[in-house]
Chains A and B, each alone.
Chain A
Amino acid sequence: MNCRFSEKISSLIDGELVPAEAREVERHLLTCSECEQLRADFLSLRSQIIGFETSLQPEVQNRALQKILARPGRTRGLQWNFGTQAIAFAMLVIVAAIIGFVAYQKSNNQRGQKDVALVVQTPSPAPAATVEPGKQPDVKESPEPQPAPSKNSGDKSPRQAPNKRPIVREPKPGEQFAAVPERVRSADAETMTAMHFETSERLLLAFKNVRLDQPSAAEEVGYERKRAKQLVYQNMLLKREADAAGDVQISSLLENLEPILIDIANLPDQPDENTVRAIRERVERKNIVGLLRVNSTALARALD
């Protein structure tokens, strides 16, 4: 891994390079066998990591959900989530406040009763001091009782209406591998399909990462549009091939991919955010990237 492009290979397969860089790295890959091998190895590692199956059982999942929903006292807004020490401290403050209040009341009563001789109570057991007549006593007012700790403002805040969340479907482990083609087609077609899936996956990832607020957005969109146009034709040809070979799963994936590629290919130079977001959401909803990834790696593995 001595080539200066090594790190960029990693970003390339993640679709995180800007178009100019991606083009440069793709050109480099045609001439550098070391980087080509690196790319293949990274993709192979990816397929190994994706292939990890969790040992989660459906009944465990259902039980967990029931436990969460059945938990009483669902709190809204702020959660009183203090430890024992904090509670003990709060209790101590409250007790001290009560004692202070009682002492204050008591001292007030005593002041009302004794007009002539004012006795200042001290905490020490020393005898009460008598104040000489004509001399203004240095009376220390007992402190005002502290107001009770105010409730946290969070409690009084109006309850927020629940947000409507767009739920993004993730590939279920079983779902991913259900898409692995069973039927064997000609090696050429499979190689082309695997490559097509990989390129499309890269395109969709790059498209997902385009930031429309950046100055380079127009250039990036232009690049993705050009790539999408090339892929649309290839997609049509490969779909025809898959239909002829009776490979329903590959054909269906290509069928789902086609309208998305067409939408990207038809984007204007300065697309508005809503159009781009709509395409991105469709890609996520249909889980196209996940399916492309699984199928391309599965096909590549079969070819190996």
Chain B
Amino acid sequence: MASEDEEFTMLFQDFYPSLCRFLECLLGGRAPLAQDLAQESFLQLHRTAWETLPAGEARFWLYRVARNMAINEFRKSNTRYRLFDRVVEAMRPRARNPEQEYEVQERNAMVLEMLQTLPEDQRAALLLREQEQLSYREIGRVLNVSESKVKVDIFRARASLRERWTRLSGISRVARMGN
């Protein structure tokens, strides 16, 4: 049992932060909710599937379950939670210096804002590709779609983000020139 728990702990340490990041981006920056869902996914894995999953499958299982939970949250679309999350986020103690913190916050906010313009399936596919480095085949397994759909979704997501990014950069350049 001890070694099983050790294995699980290793898996948790390796993937929990990545899963949180994936969910946070998917949920539009709702960090506490993302952490709860990541924890819930691991809890389900530990209680139900850990011993029966074949080797190497746990990662895909986790991302699949976590993404389904995130979709359920979208359906709820509860603004009360969103407000609560933002309050919690604002009250969170920070370790970095304010300048670094500001920079990270700015970048994160911009990434989230851009990602939120994408449909959920494109966003999930792109995040799994860029952040988790999964291949199209692996993404297809997580999202339960074909490889060709993954390819198209990722391209469309990139094209759409690029267009938005170019527009935003143009606006900020004009604003800087105005100042």
Contact = CB atoms under 8 A, between A and B. Distances in A.
Interface of A: 1, 6-7, 10-11, 14, 16, 38, 41-42, 44-46, 48-57, 60-61, 64-65, 67-69, 71, 74-77, 79, 81, 159-160, 162-170, 172-173, 205, 208-209, 289-290, 293
B56 A53 contact: no
Contact of B47 (A46, A71, A205): A71
Nearest to B8: A69
A53 B55 contact: no
Shortest beta-carbon contacts, A-B, top 8: A54-B21, A10-B155, A64-B39, A49-B130, A55-B31, A163-B55, A79-B48, A56-B20
Given A51-B111, A54-B20, A163-B54, A45 B48 contact: no
A51 B165 CA distance: 15
B17 A61 contact: yes
A67 B39 contact: yes
B10 A167 contact: yes
**Counting chain B CB atoms within 10 Å of each CB, which of A7, A67, A75 scores highest?**
A7
B89 interface: yes
Contact of A170 (B14, B24, B38, B55): B14
B31 to A, nearest CB: 5
Given A68-B42, A77-B52, A165-B7, A52 B154 contact: no
Contacts of B43: 67-68, 71
B89 A50 contact: no
Contacts of A173: 17, 21
Contacts of B112: 52
Contacts of B129: 14
Contacts of B71: none
B9 A69 contact: yes
Interface residues of B, number: 68
B8 to A, nearest CB: 7
Contact of A61 (B16, B53, B54): B16
Interface of B: 3-5, 7-18, 20-21, 24-25, 31, 34-35, 38-39, 42-43, 46-48, 50-56, 58-59, 89, 92, 104, 107-108, 110-112, 114-115, 126-127, 129-133, 135-137, 151-152, 154-155, 158-159, 161-162, 165-166
Given A61-B17, A67-B43, 13 more contacts: A14-B154, A41-B165, A45-B162, A49-B115, A50-B130, A55-B89, A56-B20, A56-B31, A67-B39, A68-B42, A69-B5, A77-B51, A165-B58
Contacts of A55: 24, 31, 89, 92
Nearest to A53: B104
A163 B53 contact: yes
B4 A162 contact: yes
Contacts of B4: 162
Contacts of B162: 38, 41-42, 45
Contacts of A41: 162, 165-166
Nearest to B137: A209
A170 B132 contact: yes
A202 to B, nearest CB: 13
Contacts of B12: 64-65, 68
A209 to B, nearest CB: 5
A165 B51 contact: no
B126 A49 contact: yes
B160 to A, nearest CB: 10
Contacts of A54: 17, 20-21, 24, 31, 34
Contacts of A167: 7, 10-11, 14
A65 B24 contact: no
A56 B35 contact: yes
24 contacts: A1-B159, A11-B155, A38-B162, A41-B162, A46-B130, A48-B110, A49-B111, A49-B131, A52-B24, A52-B107, A54-B24, A55-B89, A55-B92, A56-B17, A65-B12, A71-B43, A75-B47, A163-B54, A165-B55, A165-B58, A166-B56, A167-B7, A169-B14, A205-B135
A14 B133 CA distance: 9
A163 B54 CA distance: 7
Given A67-B39, A162-B4, A165-B11, A289 B55 contact: no
A205 B130 CA distance: 12
Contacts of B59: 168
B146 to A, nearest CB: 14
Contacts of A71: 43, 46-47
